[in-house]
Amino acid sequence: MENLRIFLLGGQDLEMQTIEEVLRDNGVCFENRHLRWDNAFLSGYKDVVNEYAGNPEVTLYGVELMEDIETSANYVRIDHHNDFAGRPSSLEQVMTVLGLPMNWRERLIAANDARYIPGMESIGATSAEIAEIRLADRRAQGVTDADEHAAELAARQVSG
């Protein structure tokens, strides 16, 4: 019997939203406490970590969570930021763990998260695809139309 896998999700953006969709669509256990980037700490899942700590039948995967509490041998960090820069995007790592292929949209999302617009351009994204992924990412992060409008006005004032 395969070990139980439980994914603990970090700060919300399009990549994390997509990871959640993949996990849900494939019946994989996950917890999403809807953390933000400024509070995406493993301690947000302390109850889950404590419940399964050291259990050889369970693997916990922390996705882009800063480790501020002790982990055990059955904990795996999935990340591609800071000390983990140079690794594949978190979405790519999750797909590898699950043994799933990535569709074109998932590849665009992974490229955007790991390498921003140049990353999407490097895999052949069109301008329309880049604009759509960037907008979807801002929306997933909670950026509203009012925020977008205010940013446009501020940019015009600075440049003009």
Which among 90, 87, 60 is positioned nearest to 73, based on CA atoms? 60
Residue 88 CB contacts under 8 Å (≥ 6 apart), including other chains: 80, 96, 110, 114
Is the pTM higher than 0.75? The answer reads yes
Q: Mind listing the pLDDT tens digit for each residue in 53-91?
A: 999 999 999 999 999 999 999 999 999 877 777 889 999
Q: Quick one: pLDDT at residue 1?
A: 53
Q: Quick one: pLDDT at residue 73?
A: 94
Split at pLDDT 50, 70, 90, the class of 155 is confident
Residue 58 CB contacts under 8 Å (≥ 6 apart), including other chains: 3, 4, 5, 6, 52, 74
Pull the structure tokens for residue 70.
């002790």
In a 13 Å sphere around the CA of 116, the CA atoms on its Cβ side amount to 1
Q: Which tops the pLDDT comparison, 108 or 116?
A: 108
* Mean pLDDT of all residues in 121-130: 97
Please give the torsion angle defined by the CA atoms of residues 40, 41, 45 and 49, in that order, rounded to the nearest 10 degrees. 140
Average pLDDT, the chain: 92
The overall longest dimension of the chain from CA atoms, in Å, is 64
Contact (Cβ atoms closer than 8 angstroms) between residue 78 and residue 89: no
CA angle centred on 17, ends 149 and 110, rounded to 5°: 90
